[in-house]
Amino acid sequence: MNGLAISSVLFLVLVEKSNARATLNNYNERKTNLIEEETLQSLGGSLRLTEKELLVNEKLMQWKEIEVNNSFYNPQYFNYSKHYFDFKDEMKKSKVYQFIQRMPKGAVLHVHSSLMLGANYLIELTYEDHLYACLTDDNLELRFSHTEPQRPCSVKWTLMSDLRNASEDIAQFDAKLKNYFTLDSDDHIGFHTDINAVWKKFNQVYFTIKSLISYRPVREKAFYQALQNFYNDNVMYIEIRSGLSSLYELNGTVHDKIYMATLYDEVTKLFMKVNPDFVGIKLIMTRARATNVDKVREALDLSRQVKQELPAMFAGFDLVGQEDVGRPLAEFSPVLLEAQDEINYYFHGGETNWYGTPVDENLFDAVLLGTKRIGHAYALIKHPALMTAVAEKDIALEVNVISNSVLSLVQDLRNHPLAIFLARGMPVVLSSDDPGVWGAEPLSDDFYVAFVAIASKHADLRMLKQLAINSIKYSALDDNGKTRLFSIFENKWNAFIDDVIATRL
């Protein structure tokens, strides 16, 4: 082969290699563009960060990279297929968790007022005077009274102080007592496999807590402390759900249900005097979905009364309780349609794994009844047409990831449908449902799990900031209230960014 022929062959080889490189470069460029396009469509993807925020974000993402990789390569030690109770203490050592805990998180829009406090503080309340207990191995009912309560008890009503003093070890007594106030115990193994069992235990915990805090002075202390805990977790506004039970006094006086709404209002105002950058609360009235139409009608009448007497505090109405065994929304639609022009709805919907059932179809009824937000919306991803409608109507999704885990909807949090909602840029607000029952922080735990376990590994500070913004945008506050809360949030956010930088991240 002569020199010209060799040169030609070499030229062709070089051209082929060049074309291959060009093809590979083109391929990589197209892949990068697709990923960037998807990121822009995700929640917070279009937010622009300041230079300071970019600096903070760079460090945050380094921490996240380490934590996700550790979980990926060492799943035997720490991963999100385990039960929340098995990793909740470990995750608090995380730098990302500590970052999120310091971060202003806006508002909580889905929380039940009786279940905001953890067991440790509830145990403190059992040291109050005049507290009687009806205590058995599997149940605890409490009642404040000057004398032995004239109420049914399978054993004997005994002063809590006498029970405690009669124990050989008070610390051990309180540790055992704590099990009646929480789901976080050693016997949670079956919770993944039997949703009805965990709901049975949950309801027992609820009724025990309710029996403790139905005494008016204790309810005041408990609610003030709950506000303090949420505020300490950088929450600036709360929308509580409550059916407004009747509180009582030591002398036997029983207040009407409106009294509890007034108490919440007054306690909040006292809290705001001490903490003027806390914007306040609103009330979403509730009724158990296991009830009948007449009881729902009564609850709507009570809602009208609260709206008339406390208009600044009232937000709307919801039906609550285990969705799988409760009556579907369709059964209540006639009475709910009658009131929809007077009362805003914030319905639970889709808190189920059953597809195509009347329970699952609560989602359709919620949207048709004009709900402002959907509580949980866990099953929404199975309904593409409804997802489109929800997006077009801008109906926010109140997602409570830890609740969905503890109450046995999802075993591996990485499979939570929130991942799809975030990827599609759906109007998501994160909340915590009943954080006291599972010993979670008011909002930080849900934010952390959503950010590290569920969201894309690429999700960054923009997503966290957008979630906080959404909690304000989709709140029941009027325009002036939202403007004030946005202003407070912006100031706190900027101070937070400066503080993270000043403390060398």
pLDDT in tens, 383-419: 999 999 999 999 999 999 999 999 999 999 999 999 9
> What is the spatial distance between Cα 109 and Cα 103, in angstroms, rounded to a whole number?
17
Taking the C-alpha atoms of residue 473 and residue 113, their distance in angstroms, rounded to an integer, is: 22
Asked if 136 and 283 sit in the same domain, the reply is no
**Residue that finishes a domain, picked among 155, 181, 207:** 181
Same domain, residue pair 270 and 315: yes
Pull the structure tokens for residue 103: 């971060």
Residue 376 is among the residues annotated as catalytic for this protein: yes
Check pLDDT > 70 for residue 382.
yes
- For residue 401 the two structure tokens come to 């990831």
> Distance between alpha carbon 504 and the CA centroid of its chain, in Å?
31
Select which of 67, 351, 398, 441 is catalytic.
Answer: 351
Region 170-187 average pLDDT: 89
Q: Which of 166, 181, 196 is the last residue of a domain?
A: 181
What gap in Å lies between CA 187 and CA 194, rounded to an integer?
13
**95 plus 137 within the same structural domain:** no
pTM as predicted: 0.94
Kindly state whether residues 261 and 358 are assigned to the same domain: yes
Judge if 156 and 232 occupy the same domain.
no
Instruction: Please indicate, yes or no, if residue 249 is contained in any of the structural domains.
Output: yes
Q: Does residue 78 form part of some domain?
A: no
Instruction: For residue 310, tell me if it sits in a domain.
Output: yes
Residues 394 and 469 in one domain: yes
Residue 3: its pLDDT value, please? Answer: 56
Predicted confidence (pLDDT) at residue 21 exceeds the cutoff of 80:
no
Counting the structural domains of the chain, the total is 2
Q: 3-state secondary structure string, 342-354?
A: CCCECCEECCCCC
Residue 197 inside a domain? The answer is no
Average pLDDT estimate for 79-94? 90
Band of the pLDDT at 32, cuts 50, 70, 90? confident
We report the CATH number of the domain holding residue 112 as 3.20.20.140
Task: Give domain status of residue 347, yes or no.
Answer: yes
431-468 burial by CB neighbour count: b if 16+ within 10 A, else e?
bbbbbbbbbbbbbbbbbbbbbbbbbbeebbbbbbbbbb
Tell me how far apart the terminal alpha carbons of the chain are, to the nearest angstrom: 66
- Indicate if 100 and 129 belong to the same structural domain: no
Same domain, yes or no, for 309 and 344?
yes
Q: How far apart are CA 36 and CA 26, in angstroms?
A: 15
Is residue 318 located within the same domain as residue 453? yes
Both 289 and 170 in one domain: the answer is no
In a domain, 49, yes or no: no
In a domain, 41, yes or no: no
pLDDT in tens, 331-375: 999 999 999 999 999 999 999 999 999 999 999 999 999 999 999
105 and 131 housed in the same domain: no
Residues 107 and 151 in one domain: no
Percent of the chain with pLDDT over 90: 85
**From 110, 112, 348, 376, the catalytic residue:** 376
361 in active site: no
**3-state SS, residue 396:** strand
Q: Which domain holds residue 391?
A: 86-118+217-496
pLDDT at 367: 98
pLDDT at 11 over 70: no
136, part of any domain:
yes
